Amino acid sequence: MKNFTEIKHPILQHKLSILRDKQTNSIGFRGIMNELGKFLAYEYSKNMPTEEFDLETPLAKTKGTRPKTYPTIVSIMRAGNGMIEGVLETLPFSSAGHIGIYRDKFINNTVEYYFKLPEGSKGRDVLLIDPMLATGDTAIATIDRLKQYEVGKITMMSVLCSPQGIERLHHFHPDVDIICLSKEEGLSDNGYLLPGIGDAGDRLYNTK
């Protein structure tokens, strides 16, 4: 599928299986989610443009390699915050922003309650993180807002994605790449991913 990458690495799939297990407590869930943020960011970073620079080892002058620029990391709260520290471990020179947005079932629309981007985000690539892409409504509204700020290339990074969410996001934003660990079977009547991991925010922060 164009602009969609599903990572089938056996170690990451094992970690995902631990997340799926309803017996995994919040401590274990947070630890695995943080690790997955680190490894998914590694997958993203494989295509970052690089440049050479001069350096000197204890024995000789040589050339080093580094990314030309680092992306702005943007977490969709609250579940995205469970991955952001791991992402920043892999991309330590990135700056980070946060967006608080959710779908309100009573008004049948998304509601934004917090929006903070780092200075200098205009024109800079964005790595948008949310563990689950379900209906796609929240992600689409978030990307709409990011594009208002004229950011650069946007990549959506999730653990799980529904077929419906992928299709809807690419309908409205065909230029956005999606990276995830699993394309799920679909959605429940309540909009939860199946088989899924339950409510990621509740399981991260032990609120239910």
**Among 127, 131, 132, which Cα is nearest to 143's?**
127
Output the pLDDT for position 107: 64
| Residue ranges for the chain with pLDDT beneath 50 | none
Distances (CA, A) of 74 to 7, 29, 71, 104, 117: 21, 21, 9, 21, 8
Output the pLDDT for position 106: 66
Chain segment 63-97, per-residue pLDDT in tens: 999 999 999 999 999 899 999 999 999 999 999 99
- Name residues whose C-beta falls within 8 Å of residue 188's C-beta, 6 or more positions apart in sequence: 194
Output the pLDDT for position 102: 78
* Count of residues making up the chain: 208
Instruction: State which amino acid sits at residue 29.
Output: F
Output the pLDDT for position 105: 67
- Report the predicted TM-score, pTM, of the whole model to 2 decimal places: 0.91
Distances (CA, A) of 145 to 20, 36, 100, 116, 117: 31, 26, 12, 11, 11
The CATH class for the domain spanning 4-205 reads alpha beta
Domain regions of the chain by residue span = 4-205
Output the pLDDT for position 35: 96
